[in-house]
Amino acid sequence: MSRSAPQTACVIGTQWGDEGKGKIVDVLCEGCDAVARFQGGANAGHTVKFGGETHVLHLLPSGILRPGKQAILGNGMVIDPETLLAELDAIHQAGIHTEGRLFISDRAHVVMPYHRALDKGREERAGADKIGTTLRGIGPCYEDKAARRGIRVAELIDPAALKAWLSRVLPEKNALLAHCYGAPAFDLETLWREQAALGAKLKPAVVNAGELLAGLYRRGARILFEGAQGALLDIDLGTYPYVTSSNTCPSAIGTGCGFPVRRIDETIGVVKAYTTRVGAGPFPSEAPPALADLLRERGGEYGATTGRPRRCGWLDMAALARAVWTAGVDSLVITKVDVLDTLPEIKVAVGYRRGADRVDHLPASFPEEPPAIEWKTFPGWRRPTGDCRRFEDLPAPCRDYIAWIGAATGCAIRMVSVGPDRAQTIVLDRPLRATPP
Q: 223 forms bridges with which residues in the sheet?
A: 8, 34
Beta bridge partners of 106: none
- The CA distance from 180 to 174, in Å, is 10
β-strand partners of 286: 313
Q: In one letter, which amino acid is 152? A: R
Q: According to the binding rule CB under 6 A, does residue 57 interact with ligand IMP?
A: no
* Binders in 135-194 for ligand IMP, by CB under 6 A: 136, 138-139
Cβ(313)–Cβ(274) below 8 Å: yes
313 near ligand IMP (CB under 6 A): no
Active site residue 109: no
Judged by CB under 6 A, the residue of 75, 83, 105, 134 near ligand IMP is 134
Cβ at position 137, least distance to ligand IMP in Å: 8
| Candidate residues 18, 106, 234, 301; the one interacting with ligand IMP per rule CB under 6 A | 18
Binding flag, residue 80, ligand IMP (CB under 6 A):
no
Under 8 Å between Cβ of 22 and 46: yes
Distances (CA, A) of 405 to 133, 391, 410, 420: 30, 15, 8, 21
Q: Does 121 bind ligand IMP (CB under 6 A)?
A: no
Residue 111 half-sphere exposure, CB side, CA atoms within 13 Å? 26
Residue 106 or 301 with smaller CB distance to ligand IMP: 301
Task: Measure the CA–CA gap between 313 and 130, rounded to whole angstroms.
Answer: 21
Integer Cα distance of 94 and 233 in angstroms: 32
Q: For ligand IMP, which residue has the nearest CB?
A: 279
Pick one of 8, 39, 105, 245: the residue that binds ligand IMP (CB under 6 A).
Answer: 245
Three-state secondary-structure class, residue 332: strand
* DSSP 8-class letter at 45: -
What type of residue is 184? P
Rounded CA separation 208/277 (Å):
35
Of the residues 75, 244, 275, 335, which one makes contact with ligand IMP according to CB under 6 A: 244
17 binds ligand IMP (CB under 6 A): yes
Helix locations, 328-433, DSSP H: 396-409
> Which among 15-23, 89-97, 166-174, 287-295 is the span making contact with ligand IMP, rule CB under 6 A?
15-23
- Which range touches ligand IMP (CB under 6 A), out of 39-47, 209-217, 293-301, 379-387? 39-47
DSSP three-state, residue 420: coil
Choose the stretch contacting ligand IMP; rule: CB under 6 A; options: 91-99, 132-140, 248-256, 318-326.
Answer: 132-140
Q: Which is nearer to ligand IMP, 210 or 238 (CB)?
A: 238
- Min separation Cβ 59 and ligand IMP, Å: 11
Q: Which of 20, 45, 250, 299 binds ligand IMP (CB under 6 A)?
A: 45
**Per CB under 6 A, does 327 bind ligand IMP?**
no
Closer of 130 and 203 to ligand IMP (Cβ): 130
User: Which C-beta is closer to ligand IMP: that of 15 or that of 75?
Assistant: 15
22's enclosing H/E stretch is helix 21-28
92 among known catalytic residues: no
User: Residue 436, preceding bond cis, omega within 30 degrees?
Assistant: no
In terms of Cβ atoms closer than 10 Å to its own Cβ (0-12, 13-18, 19+), residue 306 is middle
Q: Is 39 in the site for ligand IMP (CB under 6 A)?
A: no
The residue (of 305 and 425) whose beta carbon lies closer to ligand IMP is: 305
Q: Which of 26, 33, 46, 115 is catalytic?
A: 46
Write the binding mask 276 to 305 for ligand IMP: x where contact by CB under 6 A, - elsewhere. --xx--------------------------
Smaller CB separation from ligand IMP, 131 or 408? 131
Q: How far apart are CB 425 and ligand IMP at their closest, in Å?
A: 21
Q: Which of 18, 80, 144, 338 is catalytic?
A: 18
Residue number with CB closer to ligand IMP (134 or 409): 134
Q: Which of 28, 44, 84, 157 binds ligand IMP (CB under 6 A)?
A: 44
DSSP line for 121-188: HHHHHHGGG-----SSSHHHHHHHHHTT-PPBHHHHT-HHHHHHHHHHHHHHHHHHHHHHH-PPPPPH
Rounded Cα–Cα distance for residues 253 and 247 (Å): 9
Pairing of strands 315-316, 345-354: parallel
DSSP labels for 29-43? Answer: GGG-SEEEE-SB-TT
Task: Name the nearest CA neighbour of 231 among 307, 312, 321, 299.
Answer: 321
- 63 binds ligand IMP per the rule CB under 6 A: no
Which residues sit at the interface with ligand IMP, rule CB under 6 A? 16-18, 43-45, 131-134, 136, 138-139, 228-229, 233, 242, 244-245, 278-279
Where in the sequence numbering do the catalytic residues fall? 18, 46
